Amino acid sequence: MPSTSKAQRRAAAIAENEPEKLYKRNRGLLKMSKSELHDFASGGEKDLPTRITREGVKKRLGKRK
């Protein structure tokens, strides 16, 4: 599953390569497997928004229950 924003992609890249530099609020990323982190961190940022809100996530992923 690719990242949904530039901020998410960058945080995953930091968690993958330099986990000691993560902010405390992002430490949950360390629970992800290396392959999951790589999937989030790889890929371009060209078509990604800078940040995404909860409403934006719902809109991007569709209405799931």
Report pLDDT digits (tens) over 3-60: 888 888 999 999 999 999 999 988 999 999 999 999 888 877 788 888 877 776 667 6
Model-level pTM greater than 0.85? no
Total domains present in the chain: 1
Torsion-angle region of 52 (φ positive above 0: left; ψ -120 to 50: alpha; else: beta): beta
Q: Note whether residue 30 is domain-resident.
A: yes
User: Residue 1 falls within a domain, yes or no?
Assistant: no
The C-alpha atoms of residue 47 and residue 41 are separated, in whole angstroms, by: 14
Q: Kindly state whether residue 32 falls inside one of the protein's structural domains.
A: yes
d(CA 8, CA 36): 13
Angstrom distances, CA of residue 12 to CA of 25, 57, 59, 63:
13, 17, 22, 25
* Amino acid 32: pLDDT: 92
pLDDT score for 52:
76
In a domain, 37, yes or no: yes
